[in-house]
Structure 1
Amino acid sequence: MARSARRRSVLGVAAFGAMAWGSGLSATTPAPVSPVVRENRRKGDTGWVASENVSDKLRQIQGYPSATSVNAGGSISFHVTVAVPQTFTVSLYRLGSYHGAGGRLAYTSPKLSGRPRPVPAPDPVTGLIDCGWPSSWTFKVPADWLSGLYLAVFKTRDGHRAVTPFVVRNDARRADFLMIVPVTTYNAYNVWPADGRTGKSLYKGYLPNGKMGGAPERAYQVSFNRPYYGGGRPTWFNLDVATAQFMEKSGYDVAYATSIDLHQGRIDPARYRALIFSGHDEYWSGAMRDVVEKAIRNNTHCAFLAANNIYWNIRVEADPRGVAGRVVTCYKSAPDPAPDETGDTDLWRNLGTGQSSAEARLMGTQYNGILRAPVPLVVRGAGHWMWEGTGVHDGDRIKDLVAVEADGWFAGLPTDYQAEQTLLSASPYPDSLGRGDRIQNTSICETPDGTIMFTAGTFHWPLALAKSAYTDARIQRATKNLFDRFIRTEPGAPRPAVR
């Protein structure tokens, strides 16, 4: 990996002039309407909203897709189990704005024949649970479907309902933004089936008494070939939904992909103004990280909208039937029997020499603690362009914005590329694991040619962008300032020296 050219990172507000991208349009020529804007003019439907009523013990209906994403024009299969033989349907919703409905019904299957499918025993060595159920329904995605974050809703004849997410890509289309959905992290947290006996994640598994254990009971490998536990919405899926809704309501031209696409080489950063990492994105392979390092060095902006990103190094491997990209492997503190060229599946900051692979080398900040309860985000650098129009001043407190996990600036860990770094917050909080008081930092790094790396450093930033208990107009405006700068700024144009 290209991590050898380590340069100095300077804290402070970077003042530079933005260059507008040449559009070729005159002042009187109307700008073309984004396909995303046209899509969100369509009638919405709230059938995607959470109303699941199933359990992992009874498994009234649950299912998983054959891939985390599908290119428009391609096919995707759904593998479904029911508790008792009966018919069911699969309804596909695209998530967005849609006049406040938050989603649109795109297609509903005919009535399908359902039957119970077995829960496999975990692999005795790795803990892998791989269902390998036959396909219940295969859908050919129309070639004209817009890329997006989709939700499949499974519903039985007797009224039980579960869901699973997937992404529709459009590999032939350029867009201003590419939102990357963190499915490797979804898989890491998935403890299906949470039935008191069988389920395992990369964190925990069950004890013989039926209680949830911890690291000794966890898996070293987890499969995408199983439902997400409970109703089927992955852990922290709401962060990605909130980001998608904000971007589409704001009219941004956004396409979608998953972290598996990032790993498998389907993403060329040069096709986009910016890569948007929409949620909690903790589990990264070397191949994933290489793409983002290439992006920031080759003038594609990047934004991480949550916290604790690029934390664990993973391998992405084939399933028992040889299908690539269906298993996430992470041994963590246990001996890794088959490290690849990146190293053991351990913390990124433990790889290499002298924290040469620490997350901050790429992002400018990195994970520094866990919160028991939300605390305010304390504004810093209020004169920076990202806070423009928000009305904030240094020391202002944005209620409950720092939550769950936080990132901070680490002295002695400059970025691997030349950048001026500005800390946009300095929020004190007590670490819930007893590691003392910590400081959360929202950060922006700007390279001499105008390329931007942004890290929010808290889980609640995406929730502030959409309708939630944490909605905040100041964070919405700051994020819009950032995204608008991504569109306006022509990477590669020299900027004035910092004054």
Structure 2
Amino acid sequence: MGTELNRRWESGTLAHGVSDPFGQGPLPWLRSPDQYVAGAGGTIPWYVSVDAPGQQPLATPPPKPPVGTPTTSEDVNQQIKGFASAGVVRPGGSVDFRVTVNPPREFTVDVYRIGHYNGDGAHHMTSSPLIAGVAQAAPLVVSRTVSCHHWWQSWRLQIPQAWRPGAYVAVLTTADNLHRSHIPFTVRDFAGSGHPCELLLVLPDVTWQAYNLFPEDGHRGASLYHAWDDGGRLLGEREAAVTVSFDRPHAGAGLPLHVGHAYDFIRWAERYGYDLSYATASDLHAGLVEPARHKALIFPGHDEYWSEPMRRTVERARDNGTSLVFLSANTMYWRVELTAGPSGEPNRLLNCRKRQRVPAGQPAAGVPGSQSALWRDAGEPEQHLLGVQYAGSVPTPVPLVARNTSHWLWEGTGLREGEQLPGLVAGEADCYFPRVALPENTERILLAHSPYRDVLGKPRHQETSLYRAPSGAYVFAAGTFAWSPALDRPGHTDERIQRATANLLDHVCKEG
């Protein structure tokens, strides 16, 4: 790719997708090499880090892709891009896909379900017939909010009753086999759909959209982090969007930033037979989740953006005896509002002003008088629920230092007090803030205390927390981005983290 297209790598979406080892993970339908970075001495798979701190350099030049391997559609020309329309998808129901193809040509859709599947990582469920692709109208942009709600429906997938709930991905491929893209969607199983599963996995679709810079074309795209100026330069948070839409594709390959965290947990949990239900953060917001049906709610990855209904539902769940498991860091940091989209579908716009000034009364304005949209600035620090809270980014992966290793969570891991687990504090980290009130508890323990230095060289530390609420519910917070990848990410797995996570889930399922 030329210099003009390389400008896209400056963004918070694709730059992290390439350089952050705890962003994306390998997926089975993308095992072949892919042309993604210019000047890298050949082609590399899209998920491989070549320059991330702590990553090993490639031993040999990566192979060239086989002849006929489709390349990933990009946001400049949008060879093929799409998204799933609004609606809760259940077995026996349907999901609509809206797809643009440039130039217009036929395409197919292959649908995969994420899971262990004897190490494959996903299972092919069905394929579409050839679909006539059209070049949809350009995305609509109003005050930096990008929406494709006006795109025509391209294909409706009927979900057979026999399909299991889970995380699914629709893989879009042009009929000439030149380009491909992806659409993630979730098949749910709410009340009345059979036995209540012990564990409910909540996929962080709200946070996924906050980071989505589609279209990442140096012109129109905007997220809650970035936007472009008239010269194609990437702007920061002060000029970013304060409202983003769910009605648009994800930038780049079509998969959200950090989606790999959720997929890592799913592959591991299904391998060992844990009883999982599936929902999304927007389901939690909409009141569609009944926590009392489950022993625990699992938050598998980076879950940074929470609305008030999300938080209140989870607080009530804890207070009524449902355990909470947070397998990442920087959870529940920004306070957001979800509002209806232009066509009237509820909860299709995500509003968060961050530190910008927004007129009172607008959905993104947040709590009156707050100097930012942080939960802690609204008088409700994350630690009130999690037991720890966000401390900062970790520029270079460092060891997680185990503490209180006689606790049942570390049972069978072989860890001794103060033993280090290499690279297990990475990305971002949480810790206990002594000046912030703790949640009411009957017991509390810190299971890791790990020193690191921030980007300015200042000493900091990460902590892993577990407490028990008066209701009997446990609340676990891993406090690091690297926990979920240690479960099933090639090159990052750690048997001690796998065992500790199994101890945790077994305990909450037995005592919940």
> TM-score, normalising length from structure 2?
0.83
Give the match for residue 367 of structure 2.
343
In structure 2, give the amino acid aligned to 1:457: G
In 2, Cα distance between equivalents of 1:366 and 1:230: 31
| SS of residue in 2 equivalent to 1:90 | strand
Q: Corresponding residue for 1:142?
A: 160
Q: Distance in 2 between matches of 1:217 and 1:147?
A: 39
User: Which residue does the alignment assign to 2:146?
Assistant: 129
Counterpart residue identity of residue 294, structure 1: R
Structure 2 counterpart of 1:421: 444
Task: Please state how far the C-alpha of 1:216 moved relative to its aligned partner.
Answer: 3.1
- Is 1:82–2:101 an aligned residue pair? yes
Please name the residue that 1:60 is paired with.
Answer: 79
Q: CA deviation at 1:448?
A: 4.2
Residues in 1 aligned to 2:106 and 2:288: alpha-carbon distance in whole angstroms:
36
CA distance in structure 2 between the aligned counterparts of 1:281 and 1:303, rounded to whole angstroms: 12
Pair 1:105-2:124 in alignment:
yes
Q: Post-superposition shift, 1:89?
A: 1.1
Aligned length: 439
1:183 aligns with 2:205: yes
From 290, 293, 303, the counterpart of 2:315: 293
Q: 1:460 and 2:479 equivalent?
A: no
After superposition, the Cα gap between the structure-2 partners of 1:462 and 1:446, relative to the gap in structure 1 and judged at 3 Å, is same
Distance 1:373 1:385 in 2: 30
Where does residue 8 of structure 2 map in the other structure?
Answer: none
Give the Å deviation of 1:486.
1.2
In structure 1, how many angstroms separate the alpha carbons of the residues matched to 2:427 and 2:88? Answer: 28
- Checking the alignment, whether the CA contact within 8 Å between 1:148 and 1:167 is kept in structure 2 is yes
Task: Pick which of 45-54 and 141-150 moved more.
Answer: 45-54
CA separation of 1:111 and 1:57: change in aligned 2, threshold 3 A:
same
Q: Distance in 2 between matches of 1:68 and 1:149?
A: 15
Using the alignment, how far apart are the partners of 1:375 and 1:74 within structure 2? Answer: 46
SS at structure 2 position matched to 1:424: strand
Structure 2 counterparts to residues 83-482 of structure 1, below 5 A: 83-124=102-143, 127-132=144-149, 133-159=151-177, 160-171=179-190, 172-173=193-194, 174-336=196-358, 337-338=360-361, 343=367, 346-352=373-379, 357-432=380-455, 434=456, 436-482=458-504
Are the counterparts in 2 of residues 69 and 258 from structure 1 also a CA contact under 8 Å?
A: no
Change (3 A) 1:452 1:68: farther
Q: 2:29 aligns with which of 26, 31, 47?
A: 47
Q: Is the 8 A contact 1:95 1:103 kept in 2?
A: yes
Do 1:47 and 1:105's aligned partners in 2 also have CA atoms closer than 8 Å? no
* Structure-1 separation of matches of 2:258 and 2:377: 26
Q: Is the Cα–Cα contact under 8 Å of residues 387 and 439 in structure 2 kept in the other structure?
A: no
State the Cα deviation string for residues 315-350 of structure 1 (Å, max 9, x = none). 011111111111100011123432679725700000
Q: Distance in 2 between matches of 1:303 and 1:153?
A: 30
How far apart are the structure 1 equivalents of 2:209 and 2:98?
17
The CA distance in 2 between the partners of 1:189 and 1:342, in whole Å, is 19
Aligned counterparts of 1:294 and 1:449: Cα–Cα separation in 2: 10
For the residue of structure 2 that corresponds to 1:425, the secondary structure is strand
Q: Contact 1:68–1:258 (CA<8 Å) still a contact in 2?
A: no
SS in 1 for 2:152: coil
Amino acid at match of 2:107: F
Report the aligned-residue RMSD: 1.8
Distance across 1 between alignment mates of 2:269 and 2:435: 35
Q: Which has the higher contact order (CA 8 A, sep 6+)?
A: 1
Query: Deviation of residue 69 (structure 1)?
Result: 4.5
Between 46-55 and 473-482, the greater mean CA deviation after superposition: 46-55
Q: Residues 177-210 of structure 1, C-alpha deviation per residue, up to 9 Å, x if partnerless? A: 0100000000000001111111100001112221
Cα contact 2:242–2:353 (8 A) shared by 1:
yes
8 Å contact from structure 1 (residues 68, 166) kept in 2? no
